[in-house]
């Protein structure tokens, strides 16, 4: 445990099955392990940190919009550039679409190799090369 480090991230999703397909594939491919499983949610753990996707009955809107105030995206270390390329190529089969594809892999700048993806529910992830 690192003082000030991330304990967990919880995403409220409109469709648990879609989230489990997209986030479960991505996180497990990056080395996260299934952690918790309940009727309305799932989680995956890496070290002391875990990510939750949950279909909460308290949702106040039917979809996520990364352009509204709140969460814009999650950035994850994804290994060397070749691993980022593999993830970006495989992601569409798991519900992810590329963002800024015309500038891949340098959409974040000339010295920043990354894939920017968005899932079917509008959640963005940035896969950053080491």
- Widest distance between CA atoms in the chain: 44
pLDDT tens column, 42-59: 999 999 999 999 999 999
Q: How confident is the prediction for the chain on average, in pLDDT? A: 96
Q: What is the pLDDT of residue 4?
A: 92
pLDDT tens column, 88-102: 999 999 999 999 999
pLDDT greater than 80 at residue 69? yes
Q: Angle at Cα 100 formed by Cα 63 and Cα 87, nearest 5°? A: 85
The pairing of strands 8-12 and 49-54 is parallel
β-strand partners of 130 = none
Q: What is the pLDDT of residue 6?
A: 94
Domain 8-57+72-128 classified CATH 3.10.180.10?
yes
Do 55 and 64 meet the contact criterion of CB atoms below 8 Å apart?
Answer: no
Do 50 and 43 meet the contact criterion of CB atoms below 8 Å apart?
Answer: yes
């Amino acid at each position: 445990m690192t003082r000030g480090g991330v304990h967990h991230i919880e995403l409220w999703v409109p469709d648990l099955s879609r989230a489990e397909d997209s986030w479960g594939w991505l996180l497990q491919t990056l080395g996260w392990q299934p952690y918790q499983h309940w009727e309305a949610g799932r989680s995956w753990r890496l070290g002391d940190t875990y990510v939750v996707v949950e279909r909460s009955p308290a949702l106040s809107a039917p979809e996520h919009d990364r352009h509204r105030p709140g969460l814009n995206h999650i950035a994850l270390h994804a290994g060397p550039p070749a691993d980022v390329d593999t993830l970006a190529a495989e992601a569409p089969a798991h519900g992810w679409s590329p963002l800024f594809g015309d500038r891949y892999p340098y959409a974040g700048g000339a010295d920043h190799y990354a894939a920017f993806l968005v899932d079917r529910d509008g959640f963005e992830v940035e896969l950053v090369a080491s």
